Amino acid sequence: MIESSLVYRFFARVGNVLMRFINGSFLVNMFLTESDSSRAQTEGSIFYKIYVCLRNALSAVFSFLKLDRLFAGSIYKKNIIWACLTAALAPVMPTKLVILMAVAGFGSLLLALGCNREKQLIFTPVNKFIYAYAAVYFISIFTSVDTKGSLFGGMLTVLFVLFAIVMENAFETKKEVKAVIFLLSGIGVLVSLYGFYQYMFQSKFGGVWVDTEMFESISFRVYSTLENPNVLGEYFLLIIPLAAAGFFISKNIILRLYYMGCAGVMMLCLILTYSRGCYIGILVAAAVFLVLLDRRFIILGVFALLALPFVLPETIIHRFMSIGNMNDSSTSYRVYIWLGTINMLKDYWLCGVGPGQSAYNKVYPFYGYNEISAPHSHNTFLQIMCDTGIVGIIVFITIIYQFFKNLFITYLKNRSFEERVLVISSMSSIMAFLVQSLFDYTFYNYRVMLLFWIFIGMGLAFTQYSKLKD
């Protein structure tokens, strides 16, 4: 009935004309064209030849010491187990234990490479930029205004960035992909349940993230195991689209109900964070997911947006309406920090001030406005430039560009419904996370930083889904 209406046909024709114009543009063609020479260029580089030498040396050492026989059938070289456990435990375990799990993930990948000479790392055009980004952060430790203070944060960033490669190479079967989705969705529910517990027993927990003068109706913002409501919201931005993918690729009605319940529970907990940036992020994620899944959802989305003011609670509408209001202490606080950070980058644009809170706080007070102190710039893109300078932010943006290009080409070329849904979920998660990154420094919590790079690795692995064993 909708498709036969005059309104639908009008918008469909306008949309088709617009899409023909967009598809014929130079920028879109560049984005959608896969470079055939990319792999050849990579394999012809000096860095790839060094990798091949190290790869062969590792296998030779394992063969000489009979380590390949010692670890035959060992659980320690099952990379999927350690990578999956790291992803699952990141939101609920202390950072030090998560670091140990990440190191175990690297160890298992090295064991797998050493024990099996035939095993090769998955190639994607994004990988070389991930390595470059890790190298930039490593170098930035030694160009920092406070090398000692930048050492821990810089090295941890290098470790977590490179974990994307571990996650990318973890999957060998489609069943493993589905098992990871099942586990991560379940962990998201556990994190949500603890958030509900906090909300019900607010007196037991502290909270300082509410402007009580402007938002009298909001008494508490849940933060669960991640110590900050915005950080908790960022975690859900990554997980909820993954649970949605689990719903669409599952053929079992019980599994579909499970994923629907997981997504619903996490969505409710996300609402209780009262994070405005995350609200915008999840709307963007939903729009990207549904439109790429079926363009007919555009019409549904228009009606849904029009209906939101009538169905949302007044507290949430009030939070939305306060976006950009300088009378809100949170908004004005961020704007003044952004201005101070931009002022600082005029002098430190080349190499930045170095990774970590210590380096930032050593320089920022000389450039800040209104005597406002801050642990970071409250904007991920500004903070990356503060940490590493102009080179770091260019490499990071290149990673994001190549990531979306790689996934979108897979989405267009692949006829497998499961692979298309998985790729769509990854694009939705990362897009939502990057939207929130405009309003906050989303890498401030190291566990969420690790999860971001895990999802980058998973997204790249999803582009290889059709090649995995059934």
Give the mean model confidence (pLDDT) for residues 375-391.
Answer: 94
- Sorted by sequence, the CB contacts under 8 Å of residue 173 that are 6+ apart come out as 468, 469, 470
Higher pLDDT, 210 or 248: 248
8 pLDDT band, cuts 50/70/90, is low
Q: What is the DSSP letter of 173?
A: B
Count of Cβ atoms closer than 10 Å to residue 195 Cβ: 26
Among all chains, which residue has been given the structure tokens 């999957």?
Answer: 171
- Sorted by sequence, the CB contacts under 8 Å of residue 74 that are 6+ apart come out as 111
- Sorted by sequence, the CB contacts under 8 Å of residue 85 that are 6+ apart come out as 101
Q: Compute the CA torsion angle 166, 168, 171, 176 (nearest 10 deg).
A: 100
For residue 465, give the nearest of 425, 414, 403 by alpha carbon: 414
Output the pLDDT for position 55: 83
Query: Which percentage of the chain shows pLDDT scores above 70?
Result: 84
pTM of the model: 0.90
The answer to whether the Cα torsion of 303, 309, 311, 317 is positive or negative is: positive
Output the pLDDT for position 76: 86
Euclidean distance between CA atoms 284 and 299, whole angstroms: 15
pLDDT in tens, 307-335: 766 666 666 665 655 565 565 666 778 88
Query: Which percentage of the chain shows pLDDT scores above 90?
Result: 58
Whether residue 272 contacts residue 317, with contact meaning beta carbons closer than 8 Å, is answered with no
Among all chains, which residue has been given the structure tokens 């992803």?
Answer: 87
Grouping H, G, I as helix, E, B as strand and the rest as coil, residue 137 is helix
H or E segment and range at residue 157? helix 147-168
Average pLDDT of the chain, as a whole number: 86
pLDDT in tens, 200-236: 988 888 766 565 555 556 778 899 999 899 999 999 9
Output the pLDDT for position 132: 95
Report the first-to-last Cα separation within the chain, whole angstroms: 40
Query: Looking at beta carbons, which pairs linking 303-306 to residues 24 or more positions away fall under 8 Å?
Result: none
For 469, phi and psi rounded to 5 degrees? Answer: -70, 145
Output the pLDDT for position 22: 58
For residue 451, give the nearest of 106, 128, 163 by alpha carbon: 163
Q: What is the DSSP letter of 250?
A: -
Euclidean distance between CA atoms 246 and 249, whole angstroms: 5
Euclidean distance between CA atoms 139 and 328, whole angstroms: 39
442 pLDDT band, cuts 50/70/90, is very high
Amino acid residing at 182: F
Output the pLDDT for position 208: 61
- Sorted by sequence, the CB contacts under 8 Å of residue 422 that are 6+ apart come out as 177, 245, 249, 462, 465
Output the pLDDT for position 319: 61
3-state secondary structure 336-368: HHHHHHHHHHHHHCCCCCCCCHHHHHHHHHHCC
Amino acid residing at 216: E
Output the pLDDT for position 470: 81
pLDDT in tens, 24-48: 665 666 666 666 556 777 777 787 8
pLDDT in tens, 50-67: 888 888 888 888 888 888
Which pair of tokens denotes residue 242? Answer: 């993954």
Euclidean distance between CA atoms 388 and 399, whole angstroms: 15
Euclidean distance between CA atoms 383 and 321, whole angstroms: 27
The helix-helix angle for 276-293 and 314-321 (nearest 10°) equals 100
242 has a pLDDT exceeding 70: yes
74 has a pLDDT exceeding 70: yes
364 has a pLDDT exceeding 70: yes
Amino acid residing at 16: N
Range of weakest confidence among 92-96, 155-159, 285-289, 291-295? 291-295
Give the mean model confidence (pLDDT) for residues 191-202.
Answer: 93
Higher pLDDT, 31 or 260: 260
Q: Count CA atoms closer than 13 A to 313's CA, side-chain side.
A: 9
pLDDT in tens, 142-190: 999 999 999 999 999 999 999 999 999 999 999 999 999 999 999 999 9
141 has a pLDDT exceeding 60: yes
